């Protein structure tokens, strides 16, 4: 017998950064600032990511491209691997990603790629506590996920090994 299953993904569309909590706003603003440090001479797509750890420290990352294209890395993974290397016990409470085109000031929608979602899921699984995730959307809106689990249903984790 075939059973049909419906999957529910929960997220909120926040109409402006003013409606975020002060901590969320701080992380989003850091991600926006970080876009200026992106190294994206090939795509011209400047991505900034930032996060807040439970110890109150904040950290930023950007996409880093390379003439050998696949050698480059997305902002989210640059950030998480750097934080994982320097704060292996760190618990990520809030993470944000934002983007803009090079030479333009306004922010555009930023949507983590599949590989980044897998890495974010790994960190959430590792810390056994949800990562609240903010995605820059168009027109100044922000999409908020209370758990990174909603970014990647059927996540492959170490429990699958
Ligand atoms: N990029 C990110 O940094 N994060 C994502 O989640 C999507 C894509 C970067 C990779 C590349 O440098 C540029 O955006 C265009 O794909």
Residues 39-75 have pLDDT tens digits of: 999 999 999 999 999 999 999 999 999 999 999 999 9
Q: Is the CB of 135 under 6 A from ligand 1?
A: no
Could you tell me the residue ranges of all domains in the chain?
A: 12-152
Tell me which residue of 110, 153, 156, 103 sits closest to 134, measured CA to CA.
110
Q: Are 75 and 47 in contact (CB under 8 A)?
A: yes
Q: Please pick, among 3, 76, 93, 104, the residue that the annotation labels catalytic.
A: 76
| Reported pTM | 0.96
Whose Cα sits closest to atom 4 in ligand 1? Answer: 74
- Rounded CA gap, 29 and 143, in Å? 14
Q: Can 76 be counted among the known catalytic residues?
A: yes
User: What tens digit of pLDDT does each residue of 111-131 get?
Assistant: 999 999 999 999 999 999 999
Domain 12-152 in CATH 3.40.140.10? The answer is yes
Q: Is the CB of 63 under 6 A from ligand 1?
A: yes
Burial of 2 (0-12, 13-18, 19+ CB in 10 A): exposed
């Amino acid at each position: 017998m075939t059973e049909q299953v419906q999957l529910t993904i929960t997220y909120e569309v926040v109409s402006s950064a003013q409606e975020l909590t002060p901590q969320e706003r701080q992380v989003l603003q850091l991600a926006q600032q970080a876009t200026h440090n992106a190294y994206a001479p090939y795509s011209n797509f400047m991505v900034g990511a930032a996060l807040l750890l439970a110890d109150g420290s904040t950290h930023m990352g950007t996409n880093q491209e390379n003439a050998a294209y696949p050698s480059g890395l997305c902002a989210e993974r640059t950030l998480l691997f750097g934080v994982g290397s320097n704060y292996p016990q760190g618990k990520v409470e809030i993470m944000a990603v934002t983007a803009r085109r090079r030479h333009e000031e306004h922010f555009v929608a930023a949507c983590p790629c599949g590989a980044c979602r897998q890495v974010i899921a790994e960190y959430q699984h590792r810390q056994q506590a949800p990562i609240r995730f903010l995605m820059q959307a168009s027109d100044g809106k922000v999409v908020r996920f209370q758990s990174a689990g909603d970014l990647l249903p059927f996540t492959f984790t170490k429990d699958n090994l």
